[in-house]
Chain A
């Protein structure tokens, strides 16, 4: 089972200021440990990301990604082990195939390119993890709310 963990208290924006909501899927064996590492090492990173731990990045089904967007996520990030390091031989290869399709589809729908990202982050790359999150939050802030976000969803 996947475990939902919020990196910080998700405070509701009281002012009109746009606070991006980002859903991040982390592979149990690499990126989740990377996220842990980022926390332990106290790297500064924004608190807009909700992390969902999955056993392998290939577990992330298109349904998960679409549901996240339809429920109001402004961006979805997928992270997994580097190619060749998969705990399950070739899981992340399959992730790549799926990612290619989903990316193409979202592009055709008129969704901005940066709203869905795939990044390989290993267990030791806490720094990279924090940087990736910071970078994505900045990008999404610039983009504004997702076009799939329903009016009235906070």
Chain B
């Protein structure tokens, strides 16, 4: 399925690198499972039974086959797929055609879709399945807390995400750093901390992501300090971290997070879409290890970015915001923002006021203190290139840390809506 699946993070050792000398541990134990064997909390390794899906889809095409199964067996009416128009461009599209689902197989690190706001337009009128990055799911959960998205109507497959990249930057990098014609790129993959581009002539071109990031050409900044890499907030958490060499590229690690997730997985097995085996103990450990390495790197970047910001004065903040042209795109794309067209931040913001910091930004800073999911969509769309994600996180980090609140991971009430301070803390 199409969304970032980052097999190995930048600079991290390869996923599931076995201890030296010892032969690599197997990924799975036991035989192929029956549908009834699937339990909530279970960890499995699976793959599609269809050859072409295994070939096209990343890591065995499990996600694609679960979505296809759910659609064909009527568990959901629609699936959101990413429709590619080039290697660098895709848009989320709602479909009820299973062929569209199969066609969307394959991984993409350079496409940053925003399914949360996309889902909202359907007003909970249909049952929809989709694959999401952890930040997308955090947005969906924040919308659900504000009664805008009904989670009962939505089935989500979370994908591990080590970070995404801005399409236009990667296009430029392809030309300038890789020396490859961007239109010749057929596929991309991240492996052993390197971004590998495969061209139509079958050649592989690799560059270290660390080096790319030194020039600010790698992952988006907010991805570099993101704190949720495995989408444990979705119904299923999939990815290829923890897949041992025996299944590398052929299987997907899946953890069942909810009863609904188990139901969809059973459907995929019983319907003859996918095969699963129980993941071995070392496989699960390897997955956790990749995750913790990624998180450590995030923590390091977070310090690099935010510690200098602590000494920032009001003048710096005014300077950052002086080029705002008041387009409102940051609010339009913001996944947790649930107000709709008439909102406090716009209703009280009058273009006639010439405040140094507009009321719009002041209110948005406050509202996002407890609800910012750090997805970076705001920075992506800002026409004045204001580092909005960084500014929102500057205000959100201390509050969310103090309240021990990780936005969008569970059903906890947003602290700003709490009645008593004790419940907040």
**A154 smallest CB distance to B (angstroms):** 16
Interface size class of B (residues with CB under 8 A): 20 to 34
A103-114: CB near B (< 8 Å → 1, else 0) gives 011001111000
* Interface members, chain A 92-119 (any B CB < 8 Å): 93-94, 96-98, 100-102, 104-105, 108-111
User: How far is A110 from B395 in the complex, measured between Cα atoms in Å?
Assistant: 11
**Pairwise interchain contact B420-A90, C-beta atoms closer than 8 A:** yes
Check if A67 is an interface residue, CB within 8 A of chain B: yes
Which A residues touch B312, using CB under 8 A? 110
Among A94, A98, A111, max chain B CB count under 10 A is at A94
* Interface members, chain B 363-410 (any A CB < 8 Å): 363, 365-366, 369-370, 394-395, 398-399, 402
Which A residues touch B399, using CB under 8 A? 101, 104
**Pairwise interchain contact A63-B359, C-beta atoms closer than 8 A:** yes
**Pairwise interchain contact A66-B416, C-beta atoms closer than 8 A:** no
* Interface members, chain B 199-229 (any A CB < 8 Å): none
**B5 smallest CB distance to A (angstroms):** 35
Q: Taking A62-B366, A66-B362, A67-B348 as contacts, is the C-beta distance between A98 and B313 under 8 angstroms?
A: no
B310-334: CB near A (< 8 Å → 1, else 0) gives 0011111100000000000000000
Check if A148 is an interface residue, CB within 8 A of chain B: yes
Query: Which residue on chain A has the smallest CB distance to residue B347?
Result: A63
User: How far is A148 from B359 in the complex, measured between Cα atoms in Å?
Assistant: 12
Q: Taking A101-B416, A108-B394, A110-B312 as contacts, is the C-beta distance between A63 and B356 under 8 angstroms?
A: no
> Which residue of B344, B354, B362, B370 contacts A101 across the interface (Cβ within 8 Å)?
B370
**A28 smallest CB distance to B (angstroms):** 21
Check if B25 is an interface residue, CB within 8 A of chain A: no
Count A interface residues, CB 8 Å.
24
Check if A147 is an interface residue, CB within 8 A of chain B: yes
Which A residues touch B366, using CB under 8 A? 62, 101-102, 105
**Pairwise interchain contact A93-B420, C-beta atoms closer than 8 A:** yes
**Pairwise interchain contact A150-B356, C-beta atoms closer than 8 A:** yes
Check if B357 is an interface residue, CB within 8 A of chain A: yes
User: How far is A104 from B356 in the complex, measured between Cα atoms in Å?
Assistant: 20
**Pairwise interchain contact B369-A105, C-beta atoms closer than 8 A:** yes
Which B residues touch A62, using CB under 8 A? 362-363, 366
Query: Which residue on chain B has the smallest CB distance to residue A98?
Result: B416
**Pairwise interchain contact B369-A150, C-beta atoms closer than 8 A:** no
> Which residue of A105, A110, A147 contacts B365 across the interface (Cβ within 8 Å)?
A105
Check if B49 is an interface residue, CB within 8 A of chain A: no
Q: Taking A66-B362, A93-B421, A148-B357 as contacts, is the C-beta distance between A108 and B398 under 8 angstroms?
A: yes
Which B residues touch A96, using CB under 8 A? 420-421
* Interface members, chain B 166-203 (any A CB < 8 Å): none
**Pairwise interchain contact A70-B357, C-beta atoms closer than 8 A:** yes
Check if B418 is an interface residue, CB within 8 A of chain A: yes
Which A residues touch B248, using CB under 8 A? none
Q: Taking A70-B357, A93-B420, A97-B418 as contacts, is the C-beta distance between A147 and B398 under 8 angstroms?
A: no
User: How far is A62 from B316 in the complex, measured between Cα atoms in Å?
Assistant: 22
Check if B352 is an interface residue, CB within 8 A of chain A: no
Query: Which residue on chain A has the smallest CB distance to residue B369?
Result: A101
User: How far is A93 from B416 in the complex, measured between Cα atoms in Å?
Assistant: 12
User: How far is A90 from B420 in the complex, measured between Cα atoms in Å?
Assistant: 8
* Interface members, chain A 43-77 (any B CB < 8 Å): 61-63, 66-67, 70
Query: Which residue on chain B has the smallest CB distance to residue A72?
Result: B355
Q: Taking A63-B363, A105-B366, A105-B395 as contacts, is the C-beta distance between A100 and B344 under 8 angstroms?
A: no
**Pairwise interchain contact A90-B419, C-beta atoms closer than 8 A:** yes
User: How far is A111 from B348 in the complex, measured between Cα atoms in Å?
Assistant: 22
> Which residue of B359, B420, B421 contacts A70 across the interface (Cβ within 8 Å)?
B359
User: How far is A67 from B395 in the complex, measured between Cα atoms in Å?
Assistant: 19
**Pairwise interchain contact B357-A97, C-beta atoms closer than 8 A:** no
User: How far is A110 from B310 in the complex, measured between Cα atoms in Å?
Assistant: 9
Q: Would you list the 10 A-B pairs with minimal beta carbon distance, nearest first?
A: A147-B314, A110-B313, A70-B355, A110-B314, A66-B362, A96-B421, A93-B420, A108-B395, A62-B366, A63-B348
A-B contact sample (12 more), CB < 8 A, given A66-B363, A70-B355, A97-B424: A63-B348, A90-B419, A94-B419, A100-B421, A100-B424, A101-B369, A101-B370, A105-B366, A109-B314, A110-B312, A148-B314, A150-B354
Q: List 13 A-B contacts (CB under 8 A).
A: A70-B357, A70-B359, A90-B420, A94-B419, A97-B421, A101-B366, A102-B366, A104-B402, A105-B395, A110-B312, A147-B315, A148-B314, A148-B357
Interface residues of chain A, those whose CB is within 8 Å of chain B, are: 61-63, 66-67, 70, 90, 93-94, 96-98, 100-102, 104-105, 108-111, 147-148, 150
